[in-house]
Amino acid sequence: MEKTLLIQAKNPPGWRRRLLLFLKLSQSIWFSPEHEKIEKNYSKGIRNVMELEERGCLVLYGVDAKQMSHHFFLKTQRFNRIIYNFPHVGFLYPEDSCCQIQMNKTLVKEFLKNAKALLRKEDGEIHISHKEGDPYDRWNLVKKAEKIGLLLHEIVPFRKDDYPGYENKRAHGSNADAPFPLGDSSTYIFRVSSHSL
Ligand SMILES: C[S@@+](CC[C@H](N)C(=O)[O-])C[C@H]1O[C@@H](n2cnc3c(N)ncnc32)[C@H](O)[C@@H]1O
């Protein structure tokens, strides 16, 4: 059976029709914030979680993407697809400051390491959607992935319309339910490099 791990992280799932059609055919696990935070911060959060659960998805709460390969349940699983849209630690410093970039780079690096450990090596893919341009290019996604033994397979333009019902969320601060400007964004698709198998 196909298995997908979707890191919606501390943000409730907002992807709908297309993914849900896909989910009917697969076994999926979603990450979500703690239940109380969903209710407090996101107008459609609880409804979305319920819909996912009704469709047979498993929703895990409060999992740290930087340590997920040690999670008591996840560590027993292997996934075909591990998807994280717009990883970001939240605004602790200005977006283009070294400290902020460093923290975001650490999040991506640790996520990739953990995702690689949970991936089916033969045919698994890790998808990261990410904004293009400065300062986002300075996160050096592809170089980070290569150091971990992951190879860039493809970069595809990220189009929100490809995911009917998907609502990107700031997920931080008093305006967590609001969208952030997507601008020019892409999905980076990584596979395990052959010398790492
Ligand atoms: C810019 S928001 C994107 C939210 C959502 N994926 C979307 O596409 O709208 C970044 C997300 O990463 C989450 N995040 C940051 N650090 C995390 C960690 N260590 N483990 C899990 N999620 C994390 C934040 O809580 C937030 O939900």
Alpha helices per DSSP H over 61-161? 98-118, 141-147
In short, whether 81's Cβ falls inside 6 Å of ligand 1 is: no
CA distance 15 to 135: 26
Residue 161 has a pLDDT of 82
pLDDT computed for residue 13 by the predictor: 45
Q: How far is the CA of 88 from the centre of ligand 1 (A)?
A: 6
Nearest ligand 1 atom to the CA of 84 is: 6
Q: What is the pLDDT of residue 2?
A: 58
Domain at 4-192: CATH architecture: 3-Layer(aba) Sandwich (3.40)
Phi, psi of 10, rounded to the nearest 5 degrees: -85, 20
Query: Is residue 66 exposed (0-12), middle (13-18) or buried (19+ Cβ within 10 Å)?
Result: middle
Residue type at position 123: D
Determine the distance from the C-alpha atom of residue 178 to the mean position of all C-alpha atoms in its chain, rounded to a whole number.
18
pLDDT for res 55: 81
- Tens-level pLDDT at each residue, the chain (197 residues): 556 666 654 444 444 444 544 444 455 667 767 777 788 888 888 888 888 888 888 888 888 999 999 998 899 989 999 999 999 999 999 999 999 999 999 999 999 999 999 999 988 999 999 999 999 999 999 999 999 999 999 999 998 888 777 788 888 888 888 999 999 999 999 999 987 77
Q: d(Cα 99, Cα 95) in Å, to the nearest integer?
A: 9
Q: Is the CB of 85 under 6 A from ligand 1?
A: yes
From 83, 86, 95, 185, the mutation candidate for ligand 1 (largest count of ligand atoms within 8 A of CB) is 86
Please choose, from the candidates 54, 65, 48, 56, the residue with its C-alpha nearest in 3D space to the C-alpha of residue 9.
65
Q: Is 146 in the pocket of ligand 1 (CB under 6 A)?
A: no
Q: Quick check: CB of 12 below 6 Å from ligand 1? A: no
For residue 180, the model assigns a pLDDT of 92
Q: Is 4 in the pocket of ligand 1 (CB under 6 A)?
A: no
Tell me how far the alpha carbon of residue 171 lies from the centroid of ligand 1, in angstroms: 7
Q: What is the pLDDT of residue 61?
A: 84
Distance CA 159, CA 186 (A): 8
Extents of the domains making up the chain: 4-192
* Residue 16, pLDDT score: 44
Distance of CA 130 to the CA centre of its chain: 10
CB of 66 closer than 6 angstroms to any ligand 1 atom? yes
Closest CA to 124 of 107, 141, 149, 158: 149
Q: Tell me how crowded residue 132 is: count the other CB atoms within 10 A of its CB.
A: 13
Task: Please identify, by atom number, the ligand 1 atom nearest to the C-alpha of residue 129.
Answer: 8
